[in-house]
């Protein structure tokens, strides 16, 4: 029987991980890690859109049982929530973390220690939440944690506003990519997160992620070991462009892509500033989104249906 071995073990053994760390840290001197291209020297504590300097800010960590079934198992997904964000959606459900930076600044040694603690607690993976702006710090922590015996898959849980160049630093390190493809229409992305180029960036990012890890692989225990898992949060009034996103995934990524159509949108943060986003999603809109995914040819939809308030009058 084949024994699972995460990608980062071999990459580290070959000495390539050290090279990736050096490359990532050098990028921080004039930071272009993400598409915002702030070009500030984060190593000298200058900050850009993500408001993060040389060290990552961790908001919380622990076993998470609300993720997709292939990530959770019996002991949960080992999530590490990074504060601050490079996308900054106005309706973010973690507004205090993403916009206000709630958390503690920590070095890579602390992150590595958390990774080992989560593995020791029985978590079946390490799930980096909002990691796009802290890739160098993650690479450093992975190097240290691998030395201490880390041996479970790494999950890159992102809003998909990632540059291809930075994703290439993760090639041979990340086992499971989990992007949330949020918007198709430039005007919506511009209004909600000042990123009218979001669609082009996300499309390129998903292509690169799939090139690296392929379709999601699930072992006999029902746990994901490698591959791409795409999330999509349905927005009211079809504002997310679900139909077009599903057609893109089926046509240009893979019809066998594992997709989670998420129905839990509700107006949080500053959502009330955007006309059309001031109300929660209605059941009919969610069902329509699922139908659009199936019609597009997506063959692997997450089967769980999260609980949310239904308005049966619409």
- Condensed to tens digits (0 to 9), the pLDDT of residues 237-262 reads 999 999 999 999 999 999 999 999 99
Fold of 7-301: TIM Barrel (3.20.20)
Q: How far, in Å, CA of 23 to CA of 85, rounded?
A: 21
Q: Where are the domains of the chain?
A: 7-301
CA 242 to chain centre: 18
- Condensed to tens digits (0 to 9), the pLDDT of residues 165-177 reads 999 999 999 999 9
Q: How far, in Å, CA of 284 to CA of 301, rounded?
A: 18
Each of the 314 residues of the chain gets a pLDDT tens digit; together they read 457 899 999 999 999 999 999 999 999 999 999 999 999 999 999 999 999 999 999 999 999 999 999 999 899 999 999 999 999 999 998 888 999 889 999 999 999 999 999 999 999 999 999 999 999 999 999 999 999 999 999 999 999 999 999 999 999 999 999 999 999 999 999 999 999 999 999 999 999 999 999 999 999 999 999 999 999 999 999 999 999 999 999 999 999 999 999 999 999 999 999 999 999 999 999 999 999 999 999 989 998 644 443 333 32
Enter the pTM of the model.
0.94
**97, 81 in Cβ contact below 8 A?**
yes
């Amino acid at each position: 029987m084949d024994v699972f071995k995460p990608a980062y073990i071999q990459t580290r053994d070959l000495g390539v991980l050290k090279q990736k760390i050096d490359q990532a840290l050098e990028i921080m001197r004039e930071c272009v890690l993400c598409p915002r291209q702030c070009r500030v020297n984060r190593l000298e504590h200058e900050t850009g859109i993500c408001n993060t300097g040389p060290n990552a800010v961790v908001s919380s960590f622990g076993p998470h049982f609300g993720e997709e079934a292939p990530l959770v198992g019996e002991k949960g997904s080992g999530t590490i929530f990074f504060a601050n964000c490079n996308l900054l959606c106005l309706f973010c459900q973690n507004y205090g973390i993403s916009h206000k930076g709630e958390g503690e600044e920590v070095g890579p040694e602390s992150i590595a220690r958390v990774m080992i603690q989560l593995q020791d607690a029985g978590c079946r993976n390490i799930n980096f939440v909002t990691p796009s702006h802290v890739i160098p710090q993650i690479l450093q922590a992975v190097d240290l944690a691998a030395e201490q015996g880390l041996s479970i898959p790494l999950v890159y849980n992102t809003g998909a506003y990632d540059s291809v160049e930075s994703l290439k630093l993760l090639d041979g390190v990340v086992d499971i990519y989990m992007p949330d493809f949020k918007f198709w229409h430039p005007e919506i992305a511009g209004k909600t997160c000042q990123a009218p180029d979001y669609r082009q960036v996300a499309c390129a990012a998903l292509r690169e992620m799939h090139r690296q890890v392929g379709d999601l692989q699930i072992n006999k225990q029902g746990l994901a070991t490698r591959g791409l898992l795409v999330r999509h949060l349905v927005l009211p009034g079809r504002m997310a462009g679900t139909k077009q996103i599903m057609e893109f995934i089926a046509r240009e990524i893979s019809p066998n892509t594992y997709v989670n159509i998420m129905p839990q949108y509700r107006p949080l943060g500053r959502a009330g500033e955007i006309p059309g986003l001031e109300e929660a999603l209605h059941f009919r809109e969610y069902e329509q989104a699922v139908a659009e995914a199936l019609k597009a040819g997506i063959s692997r939809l997450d089967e769980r249906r999260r609980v949310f308030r239904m308005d049966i009058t619409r």
